[in-house]
Amino acid sequence: MDIQVCIGSGCHLKGAHFVINRLKRLISDHQSGAGITLRASFCQEHCTEGVVVRIDGTIIKRVTVDNIETHFLEAVSRR
């Protein structure tokens, strides 16, 4: 699974670094790290709808530390 978190200026200001830290903990806590790549990316072209996360090519908008766990678990369950 490939997870990309936008760190462009808009998403950075909306807390992308908090989302990245939460994802790191989720990957570790759920022992699902095997086969998961977490990386930062630049602009995903949805600046007004950030934080933007792309999981296996699917764009997820308006991601926060409060809803990233739901998105992560849904993606893991589809694997």
Instruction: Render pLDDT for 6-64 as a digit per residue (tens, 0 to 9).
Output: 999 999 999 999 999 999 999 988 765 578 899 999 888 888 887 999 999 999 999 99
Residue 19 confidence (pLDDT) = 97
Segment holding 49, helix H or strand E:
none
Residue 79 clears pLDDT 80, i.e. is over it: no
CB 32 within 8 A of CB 24: no
Residue 15 confidence (pLDDT) = 94
